[in-house]
Amino acid sequence: MSVIGTTALVYGDTGAHLYLYGLDARTGRMLWRRSASTSGTTPGVALQVSEVHGQVAFFGSMAPHTFRARLLLVDAATGRIRARSVPMTWLDTPAACSEADPVPCAAASVPSGPPRRYRLDPRSGRLRAVAQGSRGLGDGLVDPLSRNPESIEHWAHGKYVWGQDVVNLFDPGYTTDNGWDFEKYGDMYVGTLQRIPPGTVTRRAWTIHAGRDVLTAGFDIGDGRLWWQQHGTSIGCGSSLWLGADPPTPVWCRYTGTITYHAGTAGRAPTVTTSGFSVRVQGFDPEGGRVLWSRSFGAATTLAPGAGAGGVAVSDRAVLLRVPAGPVVLDVVTGAVRSPRAGESFWCRQRREFAETPRSTPAHVGEVIASCDLQGRPAADVPPVVPLAVSTQAPGGLRLVATAGAVIAYRG
């Protein structure tokens, strides 16, 4: 879900049909509805609402028995179509072409040859094939997709400010191609990258040397100058400690040892093994990388690199963690911990599968929020606090939560 101005935008499905809804974020009244589709995007990747320069970019309904759909640019308040492309089989979600050219771009398949990236003219709807261009890394940071050497650029107000080789900010062997996490704190950027290849990869196992394969660096927004590095740390512990604030509370996981992910075999689920692995969650000072507080959680594989989201938001500053000693609620501002209260309920993220014509089986997923107990089972009681991490802010101090049955507005 996304809010543009006073309009909340959310996808919903009815049977085999997908729609994008525009709702009055203050009252919940439906303003408009348009047929939508996932076109040829990757199954299993959660559907997201794409805002491009204050408007909504999405794929219209698919032509019968194909994955071809029009790329639409729509006014968020009225649902009026500003531009529409010819039908194409689109392979990724539309996004701004670049910092300097904030109009919709997306990749599409072509009858022969590799996929191509297209730019939608916001007035005429014409498509123009463009070079891959760049990809955003977060709040003004851009990967221009140059390699040998790989570099990072800072853009502001559509203008180039500075560029730095990745090796000058991190160390040799680190890359954005394994994923990235960059945050802006005052006059500093703080970011985490992994080495390439990430750890040791064999035919059926992937080992991450956590103390040496991840690196966090702090560098100056004004000129890109490196201020500090901390090896074996990952800001936010990947996405495990993400609580929705912008910027998030400066906290990272500090790792030692190795963790190995083993591929599953026929009839058996994937497994995880460790060697000397341990995790400390630490608050830090973005200006100098100094540790402010520290909590040890042992071999908490739920917080390991590559583990995905391992925490459940309890409030805007507290997260539920499942660690070897048992579940705890961690305050990311102070480092204080407590045990979950008896009967305490939480907000849980749930995958929502949906099918759409011409697909005959559930192939795509979205995400909804539900009230659950400590074990993740449905709970009758609604948690007393609605964290930013599970909601979308709307005018008037409202927080909107997309559940399986409705969009619900809460205050604070």
DSSP bridge pairs for 382? none
pLDDT at 147: 85
Structural domains in the chain (count): 1
Q: Does residue 410 form part of some domain?
A: no
Q: Which residues contact 219 (CB under 8 A, 6 or more apart)?
A: 164, 169, 188, 189, 191, 225, 226, 227
Global model pTM greater than 0.75: yes
User: Does residue 315 form part of some domain?
Assistant: yes
DSSP character string of 8-36: EEEEEEETTEEEEEEEETTT--EEEEEEE
User: What is the extent of the structural domain holding 147?
Assistant: 133-331
407 located within any domain: no
120-152 tens-digit pLDDT: 999 999 999 987 667 788 888 988 888 889 999
CA distances from 35 to 42, 58, 95, 294, 321 (A): 19, 10, 19, 50, 39
Burial state string for 21-40 with b = 16 or more CB within 10 A and e = fewer than 16: bbbebeeeeebbebebbbbb
Burial class (CB in 10 A: 0-12, 13-18, 19+), 86: exposed
At 178 the three-state DSSP class reads helix
Going residue by residue through the chain (412 aa), what tens digit of pLDDT does each one get?
A: 999 999 999 998 877 788 999 999 999 999 999 999 989 887 777 778 888 888 999 999 887 878 899 999 999 999 999 999 999 999 888 988 877 788 999 999 988 878 889 999 999 999 999 876 677 888 889 888 888 899 999 988 878 899 999 999 999 999 998 889 999 999 999 999 998 766 666 667 888 888 889 999 999 999 999 999 999 999 999 888 888 888 889 999 999 998 888 877 766 767 888 899 999 999 999 999 999 999 999 999 889 887 766 788 999 999 999 999 999 999 999 999 999 999 999 999 888 877 776 554 556 777 889 999 998 889 988 999 999 999 999 999 999 999 988 999 998 6
- Tell me, yes or no, whether 323 lies in a domain: yes
Any domain includes 203: yes
**Could you tell me which residues are beta bridge partners of residue 262?**
205, 271
- Predicted confidence (pLDDT) per residue in 30-50, tens digit: 999 999 998 988 777 777 888
Residues in the chain: 412
115 lies in some domain: no
Residue 381 lies in a domain: no
308: amino acid identity, one letter:
G
310 in a structural domain = yes
pLDDT in the model for residue 124: 94
